[in-house]
Structure 1
Amino acid sequence: MGTLDAEIYDTIARSPSPLLDSTMPVLTHAADHSKLWMAIAAGLAVSGRPSLQRGAARGIASLAVTSLVTNQAAKRIRRRPRPHPGLIPDPRRARRQPTSNSLPSGHSASAAAFAIGVAVENPPAGLVLSGLAALVGLSRVATGAHYPGDVVAGLSIGAAVATLGTRVVPPIARPSLSLADPTLVEAEPRPDGAGLVVVVNPASSDGRGRRVLKDIQTALPAAEIVELDDKDDVAAVFADVATRASIIGVAGGDGTVACAAGAAVDAELPLAVFPAGTFNHFARDIGCGTVQDTVHAIASGSVSKVDAVWLNDSRLILNTASIGAYPHFVRIRERLRRRISRPLATATAIIRVLREDANVRIEVDGQVLDVSLFLLGNSIYQPTGFLPTRRLRLDDGLLDVRILEMGHRWATLRLLGSLAAGRLERSRLYHEMQVPEFRFTAVDGPVAVSHDGEVEESYSTAHFRADYRRLKVYGPVRSRRI
């Protein structure tokens, strides 16, 4: 194999080609220190296409892991000297010949990792980048830096790392469900915001609400602005707004948005959401990730219907509800935020939750489960597993329920093994289902239920029901794309 590898290298080196002479040095230099892939990732990140943005993030993560594996492990397995560059024509020869071990090619490994990482989220873009990765591998041979076998080994390592990454963090893919087209609602265009009453929490997200307030006043001068303070009854404020508004607007965190949605449903009015919270999950998923997105939707009259979830037919939920570790985490974090910054409070709360036993026993369909993680989402979340991040549609009429049991022998080791093997969905400790309604009963007394980032009441019995396309919201139809 080594002799064949050297003969192929000699054949490429001796091949006279002005095209190779002019392109290969430029391409291999661009790939030094992964500059080429970082530049492409930056372009994908600002493309506005969610699948390309996810591809950029996955590609860079795969590249980083691959570089570590290649340089710190693979290159130490077998020492192989670099090929002699004397046969390479001068115009094609690299300006600086590397001195590290030749096997495998680090440039090729990084190229394959990035290309496959992007392909996992966006196959057409990944196909194009795979061709570019192959050219980078060719440039390493054409400029005299590597033997062909080094390139093949590098490409294999990069592809393997990116593929294994999909087992740890599954890609976001459109569910295999046949869904009806979005339900659009006729609405009058309001370019100046006439009839819109926006309730703003100026203190949300450490002052972001105040900046959003100024943007709304500039873009929608005819809109009425209502500012909240710590003494206001938020539900009462929205109920009052509903009596005089044609559109209920809200700028705040997800908890405030959920309160506004309840008033909008009761008054049968459309809801306009301006992202002013820390995460803005609901605003982002309906396509209103910026104030300008919401302003454009109001100006053009773009309204559609999305689902809501009812807890015991009295509490409206827009994003998620949970019990067990997460409500415990929220309580600790909010208590610490009175004394320290939010990032430090979040980190401290995570550490405390991991050290404490926050399991909850619930009964589901006659079976008692010792639950560590229980997450229920409004519509199907992607990807599957522990790290759901976003929804492709908010109008499928389903609840996304994910349950993790820990009350079994060696539960942690079994769980980690299933996760590493990419077989979490088949683990007996993990349950994932999509249903129109879900009910559980607390075995050891009432349990706290957290929803939309807030910890509210405790319940002995919780009944969740999807309310199909009940809420009218402003947002661009393009948000349905992945």
Structure 2
Amino acid sequence: MNVPAESTDAAPIAQSEQRARALSPGAPFFVVMNAGSGRKQVDETRAVLERELGGAGRRFDLSVVTDPRELAATARKAAERARTDDGVLVGAGGDGTLCTVAEAALTAGVPFAVLPRGTFNYFSRDHGIPADLDASTKLLLEARAYPVQVGYVNDRMFIVNASLGLYPKLLEDRETYKQQFGRSRLVAMWSALFTLLRRHRHLRLHIEHEGRTREVRSSTLFVGNNRLQLEQIGMAEAKAVEYGLLVAIAPRPVGRLAHLILTLRGAAGRLSDSDHVMSFTFDRITVARPTRPKDKRRRIKIATDGEIAWLDLPLEFRVSEKPLLLLKPEPAVAEANRS
């Protein structure tokens, strides 16, 4: 099931200079921000927007969402305003927030921009967008919009990754620990350690790819759409994302200690060295469970960019035919900024 990225004739989307799109002169910015990270961060963001955008004579509107259940609706309304006024929809937050706002931008057909405000910021870092708030805000005034790849699982979009099995459980436990001990990478690491040391079950999945079906038994199925994240865990297929493909990773059935060792390999950037990991690239796969008598489980828990949802089986993972137009640095600068 391996599909080497080098076999495709497609040029990397991120390096397609000819497809870059300049913004309309004076295009307004419609910023949607998740207030979950605290009032201080909201006030800081507003002050920088007023100084950098207002100071440059550019119109902007900041919508602060205090209830996460209202984020999607707020993003859709802002996207419609951006479409009417020939403007840009901007997401301010972590990858989960950015994905929700990006989906609204993609649906409305308007350019999307990012103000990174999360813990890991894989999406912005992969595209060379500065983590510094002042720098990322200044970028809005000079950047062009480049088409970038997004993925879908059924009708749910993801910009970094999607997964089922143990990985969503890791994310749920991480949020619980963050609420108790604060948001930091150290808290995330300890949370993952405690989750991995607990007992977990393996999934039996049927994965259909290019007309062939393979039965896979694994604790988790992880689908990556982020070159930086895939490189950090040491996946040889990481560059495939630039050629219109997604990367699937599934650890083979192992015990808790072996699973912990796999995780440590990933943290050290050596996951693909292990014989206990199956991986392949694809543009579309279907994932189902083997049918059993009296089996009424038709839904399964999914994580997309850190957000949990229940989706109907079978699952279809695919690359979106329509790219997202992202404001980002010029290709050479973006590559130099990746970290």
**Is TM (by shorter chain) over 0.5?**
yes
Amino acid corresponding to residue 184 of structure 1 in structure 2: A
- The aligned runs of 1:50-69 (5 Å cut-off) are none
Instruction: Indicate how the Cα distance of structure 1 residues 342 and 187 shifts in structure 2: closer, same or farther if over 3 A, else same.
Output: closer
Deviation at 1:247, TM superposition (A): 0.8
Equivalent-residue separation in structure 2 for 1:179 and 1:329 (angstroms): 35
Name the counterpart of 1:351: 194
Pairing 1:376–2:223 present: yes
The question of whether the paired residues in 2 share the 8 Å contact of 1:360 and 1:371 is answered with yes
Pairing 1:309–2:147 present: no
Cα deviation per residue 1:270-293 (whole Å; 9 max; x = unaligned)?
001101111111111122123344
Deviation at 1:460, TM superposition (A): 2.5
Name the counterpart of 1:187: 23
In percent, how many aligned pairs have the same letter? 24
Equivalent-residue separation in structure 2 for 1:338 and 1:437 (angstroms): 36
| Higher relative contact order (CA closer than 8 Å, sequence separation 6+) | 2
Instruction: Indicate how the Cα distance of structure 1 residues 414 and 348 shifts in structure 2: closer, same or farther if over 3 A, else same.
Output: closer
* 237-246 or 175-184, which deviates more: 175-184
Name whichever structure is richer in helix by fraction: 1
Pairing 1:298–2:140 present: yes
Deviation at 1:205, TM superposition (A): 7.3
- Matched residue SS, 2:118: coil
Name the counterpart of 1:255: 96
The question of whether the paired residues in 2 share the 8 Å contact of 1:306 and 1:469 is answered with no
- Matched residue SS, 1:185: coil
Amino acid corresponding to residue 200 of structure 1 in structure 2: M
Amino acid corresponding to residue 309 of structure 2 in structure 1: E
Which is higher, the Rg of structure 1 or of structure 2? 1
Name the counterpart of 2:309: 456
Name the counterpart of 1:433: 280
- Matched residue SS, 2:44: helix
Pairing 1:234–2:77 present: no
Name the counterpart of 1:283: 124
Name the counterpart of 1:212: 45
Equivalent-residue separation in structure 1 for 2:110 and 2:260 (angstroms): 50
Equivalent-residue separation in structure 2 for 1:423 and 1:195 (angstroms): 44
Amino acid corresponding to residue 317 of structure 2 in structure 1: F
Pairing 1:321–2:150 present: no
Equivalent-residue separation in structure 1 for 2:207 and 2:98 (angstroms): 30
Normalising by structure 1, report the TM-score: 0.55
Deviation at 1:413, TM superposition (A): 11
- The aligned runs of 1:97-112 (5 Å cut-off) are none
The question of whether the paired residues in 2 share the 8 Å contact of 1:329 and 1:350 is answered with no
Name the counterpart of 1:467: 320
The question of whether the paired residues in 1 share the 8 Å contact of 2:237 and 2:280 is answered with no
The question of whether the paired residues in 2 share the 8 Å contact of 1:328 and 1:358 is answered with no
- Matched residue SS, 2:23: coil
Deviation at 1:389, TM superposition (A): 12
The question of whether the paired residues in 1 share the 8 Å contact of 2:126 and 2:226 is answered with no
The question of whether the paired residues in 1 share the 8 Å contact of 2:94 and 2:121 is answered with yes
Instruction: Indicate how the Cα distance of structure 1 residues 231 and 184 shifts in structure 2: closer, same or farther if over 3 A, else same.
Output: closer
Q: Kindly tell me the number of residue pairs found equivalent between the two proteins.
A: 300
- The aligned runs of 1:195-206 (5 Å cut-off) are 195-204=28-37
Equivalent-residue separation in structure 2 for 1:260 and 1:461 (angstroms): 26
Instruction: Indicate how the Cα distance of structure 1 residues 311 and 382 shifts in structure 2: closer, same or farther if over 3 A, else same.
Output: closer
- The aligned runs of 1:150-165 (5 Å cut-off) are none
The question of whether the paired residues in 2 share the 8 Å contact of 1:309 and 1:378 is answered with yes
- Give the RMSD, CA atoms, in angstroms: 3.5
The question of whether the paired residues in 2 share the 8 Å contact of 1:381 and 1:388 is answered with no
The question of whether the paired residues in 2 share the 8 Å contact of 1:399 and 1:466 is answered with yes
Equivalent-residue separation in structure 2 for 1:382 and 1:337 (angstroms): 21
Instruction: Indicate how the Cα distance of structure 1 residues 360 and 318 shifts in structure 2: closer, same or farther if over 3 A, else same.
Output: same
Amino acid corresponding to residue 473 of structure 1 in structure 2: L
Deviation at 1:201, TM superposition (A): 1.9
Cα deviation per residue 1:233-252 (whole Å; 9 max; x = unaligned)?
11110111122121101101
Cα deviation per residue 1:2-51 (whole Å; 9 max; x = unaligned)?
xxxxxxxxxxxxxxxxxxxxxxxxxxxxxxxxxxxxxxxxxxxxxxxxxx
Amino acid corresponding to residue 230 of structure 1 in structure 2: D
Pairing 1:479–2:322 present: no
Deviation at 1:317, TM superposition (A): 0.7
Pairing 1:404–2:251 present: yes
* 286-295 or 274-283, which deviates more: 286-295
Deviation at 1:361, TM superposition (A): 2.0
Amino acid corresponding to residue 315 of structure 2 in structure 1: A
Unaligned runs of 5+ in 1: 1-174
Equivalent-residue separation in structure 2 for 1:411 and 1:232 (angstroms): 38
Instruction: Indicate how the Cα distance of structure 1 residues 465 and 390 shifts in structure 2: closer, same or farther if over 3 A, else same.
Output: closer
Instruction: Indicate how the Cα distance of structure 1 residues 261 and 389 shifts in structure 2: closer, same or farther if over 3 A, else same.
Output: farther
Unaligned runs of 5+ in 2: none
The question of whether the paired residues in 2 share the 8 Å contact of 1:270 and 1:474 is answered with yes
Equivalent-residue separation in structure 2 for 1:238 and 1:202 (angstroms): 14
Out of 243, 251, 275, the residue aligned to residue 80 of structure 2 is 243
The question of whether the paired residues in 1 share the 8 Å contact of 2:164 and 2:302 is answered with yes
The question of whether the paired residues in 2 share the 8 Å contact of 1:209 and 1:252 is answered with no
The question of whether the paired residues in 2 share the 8 Å contact of 1:415 and 1:424 is answered with no
Equivalent-residue separation in structure 1 for 2:137 and 2:283 (angstroms): 33
Amino acid corresponding to residue 354 of structure 1 in structure 2: L
Deviation at 1:210, TM superposition (A): 3.9
